[in-house]
Amino acid sequence: MKRDRSLAAFERAKRVIPGGVNSPVRAFRSVGGSPVFVKSASGCMLVDLDDNAYIDYVMSWGPLILGHAHPLVIAAVRDAAERGTSFGAPTEAESDLAELVISMVPSIERVRFCSSGTEATMSALRLARGFTGRDKVVKFAGCYHGHGDAFLISAGSGALTNGVPDSPGITEGVARDTIVVDYNDTAGLRAAFAQHGEAIAAVIVEPYVGNMGLVLPLPDFLPALRELCTGYGAVLIFDEVMTGFRVAPGGVQEREGILPDLTTLGKIIGGGLPVGAFGGRADIMARLSPEGPVYQAGTLSGNPLAMAAGLATLRGLQAPGVYPHLEQLGTRFVSGMSEVFTRHSVPHVTANRGSMVGFFLTDGPVTNVSDAKRSDTALYGRFFHAMLDRGVYLAPSQFEAGFLSTAHRQLDVDRTLEMADEALTAVFAAPRGSN
Ligand code: KE4
């Protein structure tokens, strides 16, 4: 498949933008090669600068659950834009979206909008610290909550004492207040609370993890989180930036029946435009400026175009049968992929929750980041490129989830599975290192 224009565009971009991208995962570092530059997209199809078309399973990393350029979303954004793009003053669209979010997400009584998932998680943590008067936060290895300093922390040597920065530019002082436990490690969580309980302001978790690849909670994990946070007076934050409105209308908390104290949202809530949000218990949200003392703000928070895109998207999800259809499509995708991997004797683990899908190229089970890292990332890279050359755009990293939309049809999934079979045949026929 010829991608000369994308190659040239990448060389141009690298001269003016670090790494040639505005978010690292887009640079294909994890799978090798040069990224596809997009000309346009519609439905489940992406078209690159060389007019190659791909069935898209990244879907902008989750926001586009109705597919690219959905007519209802485009019309709503166009209509809003003709009345002005931003005012820095309140509009009723913000209350419209807030009321809809509160009606859909079980634990949210009040909500604040911002412009990204990172802002949402940063703000939710500050609010939890302000509400409890405590400093420490517990996160889980392999979970990603945006690029806020407090979250770019790995488990330190003395894992339960304090974390170590994951990136230069993060101070020891910040790392000291982040405790990192293994996902699904309920014993480790109990130990963290036994050691630091009264100092823990919050626990933040991806209730279904998308940022290791798709990793699901063991049956006792989320209930233990709820029990310990309640017992020690810590704020339980479900980071549903990826799972919100994705795995169910009310996210994981609806599907699992576990209510957090705060929820962070993003992606789908903006329908492809920049929106983040955090919300939850009214008594906690009441501490937020200007009602309370915890400061948080944003020039473009509640932006009218973004509100319009979010409203059109969430309203589009209200149609009967949408979620059962997405569940069936996601299940077909992962079961078909499993059949293909089995046919080619590739060790694998596949899973889906609704239209959020994942597969690891390793034997199971995969319950935490150490398990996930056993995946054959070299094989994943060769598979990724073999699929790309056959018109299927998977996540350019083994450690990401995939997403289907209401624009994906059964025949798109079936074609994808045919291409997966062809791709693996080609990968194993070629001498190693050649593709
Ligand atoms: P943003 O700041 O990228 O809008 O959201 C951060 C974030 C927070 N929480 C969860 C659970 C997330 O998945 C994300 C962002 N997800 C990544 C995909 N793994 C965005 C892709 C990117 O970084 O370019």
Residue nearest to ligand 1 atom 17, measured at CA: 61
Instruction: Give the model's pLDDT for residue 165.
Output: 84
Domain boundary among 291, 316, 341: 316
Residues with Cβ within 8 Å of 358's Cβ and at least 6 positions away in sequence, in order, are 210, 213, 214, 215, 334, 350, 351, 352, 401, 402
Let me know: does 112 contact 284? Beta carbons within 8 Å.
no
Give pLDDT tens digits for 392-407.
999 999 999 999 999 9
Query: How many structural domains does the chain have?
Result: 2
Answer yes or no: is the C-beta of 25 below 6 A from any ligand 1 atom: yes
| pLDDT class of 434 with cuts at 50, 70, 90 | low
Report the CATH number that the domain containing residue 289 is assigned in CATH: 3.40.640.10
Report the CATH number that the domain containing residue 405 is assigned in CATH: 3.90.1150.10
Give pLDDT tens digits for 119-130.
999 999 999 999
Give pLDDT tens digits for 113-170.
999 999 999 999 999 999 999 999 999 999 999 999 999 998 766 656 667 888 999 9
Please report how many Cα atoms fall inside a 13 Å half-sphere around the Cα of residue 372, on the Cβ side: 24
Answer yes or no: is the C-beta of 355 below 6 A from any ligand 1 atom: no
Domain boundary among 316, 342, 361: 316
Q: Reduce the DSSP state of residue 91 to 3 states and report it.
A: coil
Cα gap 23→34, rounded to integer Å: 14
183 classed as catalytic: no
CA angle at 277 for the pair 24 and 97, rounded to the nearest 5°: 125
* Full domain range(s) for residue 160: 71-316
Written as six digits, the tokens of 21 are 């991208």
Answer yes or no: is the C-beta of 21 below 6 A from any ligand 1 atom: no
Predicted TM-score (pTM) of the model is 0.97
Let me know: does 348 contact 359? Beta carbons within 8 Å.
yes
**61 and 77, same structural domain?**
no
Instruction: Give the model's pLDDT for residue 155.
Output: 72
| pLDDT class of 206 with cuts at 50, 70, 90 | very high
Q: What is the mean pLDDT of residues 199-211?
A: 98
Going by C-alpha positions, the residue among 231, 230, 249, 227 that lies closest to residue 240 is 249
**324 and 311, same structural domain?**
no
What percent of the chain shows pLDDT beyond 70?
97
Cα gap 355→404, rounded to integer Å: 5
Q: Where are the alpha helices (DSSP H) in 367-432?
A: 369-372, 377-388, 410-429
Instruction: Give the model's pLDDT for residue 114.
Output: 98
User: Is residue 30 one of the residues assigned to a domain?
Assistant: yes
Let me know: does 319 contact 94? Beta carbons within 8 Å.
no
**304 and 403, same structural domain?**
no
Would you say residue 435 has pLDDT above 60?
no
**147 and 19, same structural domain?**
no
| pLDDT class of 99 with cuts at 50, 70, 90 | very high
Going by C-alpha positions, the residue among 423, 434, 431 that lies closest to residue 346 is 423
Instruction: Give the model's pLDDT for residue 432.
Output: 64
Give pLDDT tens digits for 355-370.
999 999 999 999 999 9
Let me know: does 387 contact 426? Beta carbons within 8 Å.
no
